Amino acid sequence: MTRSRLAWPFLAIVAALVVLPLGVAGWLALTDYTGIRSATFTGATNLRRLVADDAFWVTVRTSAALALVVVPLRLALAVGAALLLHRGGAGVSTGRVAVYLPSVVPDAAWALLWLWILNPLYGPVSAVLHAVGVGDPGFLTTRTGAFLGLSLVLAFQIGEAFVVALAARAQVPRALYEVAAVEGVRPATVVRRITLPLMAPLIGLLALRDVILVVNVSFVPALLITGGEPLRATLVAPLAVYRRAFQYGELGYASLLSLVLFGMTAAATATLWAGVRALRR
Amino acid sequence: MTYERRRRERVVALDGVSLEAGDAELVAVVGESGSGKSTLLRAVAGLARLDGGSVAIAGRDVTALPPGPRQVALVPQNLPLYPHLDVTANITFGEVARRTPRSERTAKVRRAVELLDLAHLLDRRPDSLSGGERQRVALARALVREPAAFLLDEPLSGLSGATRLALRAAVKRVQRETATTMLYVTHDPQEAMAIGDRVAVLVAGRIEQYGAPVELFARPATVAVARLVGPLPMNLLAGALAGRGVPTVGVRPERVRIVALGIGRLVAVVTGVELIGEQTLVRLSVVGAGGDVELLAVAAGTVSVGTEVGADWEPSDEHLFDVAGRRITATDPAVP
């Protein structure tokens, strides 16, 4: 009783800020609303247009590819940092702060910082790569390079995941490591066969959250650094929806696109969730 | 295993401990919590670093070796199983990691499973096992290691009654079958006396006495051992009260006779009566120099609380201790 009562304010907020806009978007998706004239019901017109809208599906594929590259990278970094920094010792506190710090920087500031870091003319990365004779892959100028650049920008804001991974590592009982040490099991095997399996359920949850996060926050660097270019290589779905709505003024159609994006993210996380549950058994 | 010493944040956990276990011998180490018994075991396993001294296993000095190459098997006190693996995988974990050939592994596992009666549990996860079953799995895992020494840290703590007895027998069986040296740490003196070929009594990081159970019982080297060893703690009386010219006189409750008032050495009041099997444990209160002293006696019949009685014992049943609590050996009674 008490618990459900405490949930009421939260439910009210969700209703006002999530459910209501979703409902409105659902209605607008069936209209030709532009934001200037009042909406006219157009039935399945938008839907038919969507089916044939190859340009949009390309942006969905870009977002999916980005999630496939960035989510594992973020998890590897967060879990790896947690395994390295879970024990006390010299420099560990500094290390923890260093891992967390990028998450404190506002997304827009973070994006602009990377615009400088990856700049082919005066950026430090380019300078270092040239100095060692490797050559710049064209972080902001080629299709692959820009995609990689965007992935890098998104890879390091892992503070929360790092903290969760630290907690997960702390949950593994020390006695298990002692038994393994006495049995003469090598450290790499211990990580692979004890630590990671025992952390797996929480890592799964982190993956779930990261898919949603990466798809959404990719909007900021895509808008500020690459603008979706070159040749739409970094035109992620949220940016495409944003342009459809606020540059082309097609709010009705953009509503449908955002609903589709929402549905697809939900489907992806549901699939992952099923995987996590299977792991827990 | 010889002289070991371990300092823990300015606390010396073990000090001047010298313990040698014979080949295929089961040595029980008994002590209260904080006495350093677990530290001793961890030092032998290589999990605790020594500030001085050395550890040798099977004639080989292993002081500088990490835990793995020491070839010992550890059954730790808490959470000894990998929760995400079934019983088979738990038993074979070390073998798989060490890449033992499959055929050899299978044979070892079959033997362990047979010896510890685990055949019906092989597919189960640790969280679906009872406490006793888990300990049997942990023992099986130690067994397949074919170690140079078994190290058991309170393996029976948290188990009750019949399970405890059965598992104690299983531990002994494993040790006999493999003819391997075993170090068995426990806080329960009864358990130590029951299982050990020899028993080491550890008090505050020092070994008070090390010997066969019967010797510890018949000739406790210190008052601490006298209190700890045996089904009931030994009565320890001021020498003056017992009419002796030594600081402390010890008499086992089993040897204290309740006699008619006026006959015995002491006059006592019965303050409590507890039934222990066929006999009765009688709590007596004796008026001493510094206040009332409790004296325990075991009687065949019953006496009522509040009665005044006499308490007596044979001079040959007395254990005499000096000011430091050490045994005065001149008057030792014969080993029964």
Interface A–B counts its CB contacts (< 8 A) at 61
Q: Taking 50 as the threshold, does the pLDDT of residue B336 lie above it?
A: no
Residues β-bridged to residue B26:
B182
Cα angle for residues A270, A214, A217 (degrees, 5° grid): 125
Q: Chain A partners of B98 at a C-beta cutoff of 8 Å?
A: 183-185
Test B46 with A182 for CB contact under 8 angstroms.
yes
Residues 6+ apart with CB under 8 A from A232: A55, A58, A59, A62
SS3 content of chain A, % helix, strand, coil (to 5): 75, 0, 25
Test A181 with B68 for CB contact under 8 angstroms.
yes
Q: Give the pLDDT confidence score for residue B48 in this predicted structure.
A: 83
Strands B198-203 and B26-30: parallel
- Of B71, B137, B86, B89, nearest in space to A181 by CA: B71
Q: Taking 70 as the threshold, does the pLDDT of residue B331 lie above it?
A: no
Residues 6+ apart with CB under 8 A from B198: B21, B25, B26, B27, B28, B210, B211, B212, B213
Tell whether B46 is within 8 A of chain A (Cβ). Answer: yes
Q: Taking 50 as the threshold, does the pLDDT of residue B162 lie above it?
A: yes
Q: Give the pLDDT confidence score for residue B3 in this predicted structure.
A: 45
Tell whether B158 is within 8 A of chain A (Cβ). Answer: no
Q: Give the pLDDT confidence score for residue A264 in this predicted structure.
A: 92
Q: Give the pLDDT confidence score for residue B205 in this predicted structure.
A: 83
d(CA A124, CA A120): 9
Q: Give the pLDDT confidence score for residue B332 in this predicted structure.
A: 58
- Residue spans of the domains in chain A: they are 54-247
Q: What is the DSSP string of A227-272?
A: TT-STTTT--HHHHHHHHHHTS--HHHHHHHHHHHHHHHHHHHHHH
Torsion of CA A31, A34, A36, A42, to 10 degrees: -20
Q: Give the pLDDT confidence score for residue A183 in this predicted structure.
A: 87
Q: Give the pLDDT confidence score for residue B103 in this predicted structure.
A: 85
Mean pLDDT of A140-151: 88
Specify the amino acid at residue B223: V
Q: Chain A partners of B100 at a C-beta cutoff of 8 Å?
A: none
- Across chain A, mean pLDDT equals 89
Test A182 with B98 for CB contact under 8 angstroms.
no
What is the CATH code of the structural domain delimited by A54-247? Answer: 1.10.3720.10
Quickly state the pLDDT bin for A22 (edges 50, 70, 90). Answer: very high
DSSP assigned state of B126: G
Q: Chain A partners of B158 at a C-beta cutoff of 8 Å?
A: none
Q: Chain A partners of B80 at a C-beta cutoff of 8 Å?
A: 175, 179
Quickly state the pLDDT bin for B307 (edges 50, 70, 90). Answer: confident
Test B79 with A180 for CB contact under 8 angstroms.
no
Q: Give the pLDDT confidence score for residue A157 in this predicted structure.
A: 92
Tell whether A270 is within 8 A of chain B (Cβ). Answer: no
Contact present, B299 and B276 (Cβ < 8 Å): no
- Choose the most confident range, by mean pLDDT, from A258-262, B128-132, B152-156, B298-302: A258-262
Q: Taking 60 as the threshold, does the pLDDT of residue B310 lie above it?
A: yes
Mean pLDDT of B213-221: 91
Strands B291-299 and B279-288: antiparallel
- Choose the most confident range, by mean pLDDT, from A74-83, A234-243, B130-139: A74-83
- Least CB-CB distance to B47: which of A178, A184, A198? A178
Mean pLDDT of B93-106: 84
d(CA B152, CA B150): 6
Per-residue pLDDT tens over the stretch A78-92: 999 999 999 878 888
Quickly state the pLDDT bin for A159 (edges 50, 70, 90). Answer: very high
Contact present, B37 and B31 (Cβ < 8 Å): yes
| Whole-Å CA distances, B139 to A7, B6, B12, B167 | 49, 27, 31, 10
- The B residues from 74 to 133 touching A (CB cutoff 8 Å) are 74, 76-80, 82-84, 93-94, 97-98
Q: What is the DSSP string of A49-90?
A: HHHH-HHHHHHHHHHHHHHHHHHHHHHHHHHHHHHHHSS--T
Q: Chain A partners of B83 at a C-beta cutoff of 8 Å?
A: 198
d(CA B39, CA B11): 12
Q: Using a pLDDT cut of 70, give the percent of chain B over it.
A: 93
d(CA A183, CA B258): 56
Token output for B195:
């299982």
Q: Give the pLDDT confidence score for residue A81 in this predicted structure.
A: 95
- The SS3 call for residue B34 is coil
Q: Chain A partners of B152 at a C-beta cutoff of 8 Å?
A: none
Q: Chain A partners of B46 at a C-beta cutoff of 8 Å?
A: 181-182
Q: Give the pLDDT confidence score for residue B10 in this predicted structure.
A: 43
Contact present, A29 and A259 (Cβ < 8 Å): yes
Per-residue pLDDT tens over the stretch B278-300: 888 999 988 876 778 888 988 88
Q: Taking 80 as the threshold, does the pLDDT of residue A280 lie above it?
A: no
Q: Taking 80 as the threshold, does the pLDDT of residue B21 lie above it?
A: no
> Cβ of A87: how many Cβ atoms within 10 Å?
9
How far does B149 lie from chain A, in Å, by closest CA? 12
Q: What is the DSSP string of A153-176?
A: HHHS--HHHHHHHHHHHHHS-HHH
Quickly state the pLDDT bin for A41 (edges 50, 70, 90). Answer: confident
- The SS3 call for residue B207 is strand
Q: Using a pLDDT cut of 90, give the percent of chain A over it.
A: 44
Test A176 with B94 for CB contact under 8 angstroms.
no
Per-residue pLDDT tens over the stretch B199-215: 999 888 888 899 999 99
- Across chain B, mean pLDDT equals 84
Least confident of A175-189, B50-64, B111-125: B50-64
- The A residues from 47 to 86 touching B (CB cutoff 8 Å) are none
How far does A181 lie from chain B, in Å, by closest CA? 6
Per-residue pLDDT tens over the stretch A115-126: 999 888 888 888
Mean pLDDT of B230-248: 85
Contact present, B145 and B94 (Cβ < 8 Å): yes
Quickly state the pLDDT bin for B333 (edges 50, 70, 90). Answer: low
How far does B191 lie from chain A, in Å, by closest CA? 24
CA count, 13 A, side-chain hemisphere, A145 = 15
Q: Give the pLDDT confidence score for residue B251 in this predicted structure.
A: 92
Q: What is the DSSP string of B218-275?
A: HS-SBHHHHHHSSSSPPEEEEHHHHT-SSSEEEE-GGGPEEE-TTTSSEEEEEEEEEE
Residue ranges in chain B assigned as alpha helix (H)? 37-45, 87-97, 102-116, 131-144, 161-178, 189-195, 213-218, 223-228, 239-242
How far does B51 lie from chain A, in Å, by closest CA? 20
Q: Give the pLDDT confidence score for residue B106 in this predicted structure.
A: 86
Mean pLDDT of B232-249: 85
Q: Give the pLDDT confidence score for residue A36 in this predicted structure.
A: 82
Tell whether A9 is within 8 A of chain B (Cβ). Answer: no
- Least CB-CB distance to A182: which of B67, B82, B98? B67
Mean pLDDT of B30-47: 86
Q: Taking 80 as the threshold, does the pLDDT of residue B14 lie above it?
A: no
Complex ipTM more than 0.85, yes or no: no
How far does A92 lie from chain B, in Å, by closest CA? 21
Q: Chain B partners of A180 at a C-beta cutoff of 8 Å?
A: 93-94, 97
Q: Taking 80 as the threshold, does the pLDDT of residue B242 lie above it?
A: no
Q: Using a pLDDT cut of 90, give the percent of chain B over it.
A: 14
- The A residues from 139 to 178 touching B (CB cutoff 8 Å) are 173, 175-176, 178
d(CA A31, CA B266): 107
- Least CB-CB distance to A189: which of B70, B76, B97? B97
Phi, psi for A64 (deg, rounded to 5): -65, -45
Least confident of A158-162, B78-82, B121-125: B78-82
Tell me how far apart the terminal alpha carbons of chain B are, to the nearest angstrom: 31
d(CA B306, CA A101): 75
Tell me how far apart the terminal alpha carbons of chain A are, to the nearest angstrom: 31
Cα angle for residues B56, B51, A182 (degrees, 5° grid): 50
Test A189 with B83 for CB contact under 8 angstroms.
no
Q: Give the pLDDT confidence score for residue B1 in this predicted structure.
A: 46
DSSP assigned state of B331: G
Tell whether B49 is within 8 A of chain A (Cβ). Answer: no
Test A181 with B73 for CB contact under 8 angstroms.
no
Tell whether A184 is within 8 A of chain B (Cβ). Answer: yes
How far does A200 lie from chain B, in Å, by closest CA? 10
> Cβ of A16: how many Cβ atoms within 10 Å?
10
Phi, psi for B216 (deg, rounded to 5): -60, -40
